[in-house]
Chains A and B, each alone.
Chain A
Amino acid sequence: MKAFLKKHKFDFPIIMVFVLFVGSSFYFNYGPGKQILKDNFWMFFKEMILVLPVMFILIGLFDVWIPKERIKKHIGEASGIKGMFLVMLLAFIQAGPLYAAFPVAYLLWKKGCSPVNVFIYISAFTTAKIPMLTFEIGFLGLKFSLLRILITIPVFILIGIIMGRYFKRNKCKINEG
């Protein structure tokens, strides 16, 4: 418990101040405070509370069922182009905000996914999620979406390779969170 509090030494004060701020905004009928809660905070909170617990359950199941050897073989160090393709596919079919990618990245890494593929996964996750593409095409057009994705893919593969090399050279680790 002490370690938990220490780890979140900035988080709890922020949460407490916010609760006080919102509480007094309602008490004194302060418009901006009410708006921040109703329009912004509630939207993000809903997104988080609907997506993340489900995702973490999936992560937990994946953790106990999928053996390390299998992950290592398909997306590990020696997996080459096929491995890159697989992590990209995995990222594309997901939904959720950027921070939902990090626990998955931790799990993949723990199970033997190569660092390059971990970083390609994160970039791919942010670039082109299929559920979001329908939105993008609807509001910005097919030409925009296709061009953006085609230009972005080589850029994020390059970022993945650079990050992977850095990660290995410095013997970095991914933590449980």
Chain B
Amino acid sequence: MIPLTIFTTLLVIISFIVDRKKTIKGIQKGLKQFLKILPTLLSVIIIISIVLFFVSDKFLMEFLGKEAGLGAYISAAVIGSVSLLPGFIAYPLAGFLVQSGVSYSVIAVFITTLMMVGILTIPIEARYFGLKTTIIRNVLSFIGAIIVGTVMAFIYYLI
């Protein structure tokens, strides 16, 4: 986070020295786009916050745990698709799940869907790509995540 801010600040300064007018125009353009999407962002993170309240560690263990079998993959894919977690929360959680006995291939499905499929962020994605393209991309990514998990299941414990 901090490197990005430093990098941007440097770029703004250099850009400002080279061409003041152009820099102001660029910053205005960028911030205008941000304000335009802000209400959608806010309403999406509100929904995510409420959904996450119901998805506790205990809830995840119950659905992804050792005895859950094939159901564990399906649960991992569904829960991963619906939720959205920043990496600094998702990875410690995944580490905890592995230690509690959840298999690595289930975790692979969970992590992949968590990142590539965003059902709750569809309103944001649709603003840019349109609803149809957004749904197709999410469905394809969902299938892709299942493939990744399946291949992981075959390979991870072999090598």
Contact = CB atoms under 8 A, between A and B. Distances in A.
Interface string B23-35: 1011111110110
Most chain A Cβ neighbours within 10 Å, of B87, B136, B155, B159 = B87
Report the interface size class on chain B: 35 or more
B113 to A, nearest CB: 10
Interface residues of A, number: 77
B66 interface: no
A89 B115 CA distance: 18
Q: Is the interface of B mostly helix, strand, loop or mixed?
A: helix
Contacts of B88: 135
Interface string B5-21: 10010011001000000
Q: Is the interface of A mostly helix, strand, loop or mixed?
A: helix
B43 A10 contact: yes
A26 to B, nearest CB: 15
Contact of B15 (A14, A61, A136): A61
Interface in B72-119: 84, 86-89, 91-92, 94-95, 98, 104, 107-108, 111-112, 115-116, 118
A140 B43 CA distance: 32
Contacts of A122: 137
A97 B41 CA distance: 11
Contacts of A143: 156, 159
Contacts of B5: 54
B46 A15 contact: yes
B87 A136 contact: yes
A127 B116 contact: yes
B47 A14 contact: yes
B1 interface: yes
Contacts of B128: 102-103, 105-106, 174-177
Contacts of A11: 39-40, 42-43, 123
A148 interface: yes
A90 interface: no
B69 interface: no
Nearest to A156: B144
Contacts of B68: none
A172 B129 contact: yes
Given A60-B33, A162-B140, A95 B1 contact: yes
Contact of A65 (B22, B118, B125, B155): B22
A57 B24 CA distance: 10
21 contacts: A11-B43, A14-B46, A14-B47, A15-B46, A18-B46, A41-B46, A48-B45, A51-B4, A64-B29, A98-B115, A103-B37, A123-B116, A127-B112, A136-B91, A140-B91, A140-B107, A143-B159, A152-B112, A152-B144, A159-B141, A175-B129
Interface of B: 1, 4-5, 8, 11-12, 15, 22-23, 25-31, 33-34, 36-37, 39-50, 52-53, 84, 86-89, 91-92, 94-95, 98, 104, 107-108, 111-112, 115-116, 118, 121, 123-125, 127-130, 133, 136-137, 140-141, 144, 147-148, 151-152, 155-156, 159
3 closest residue pairs by CB, A with B: A60-B30, A139-B95, A40-B49
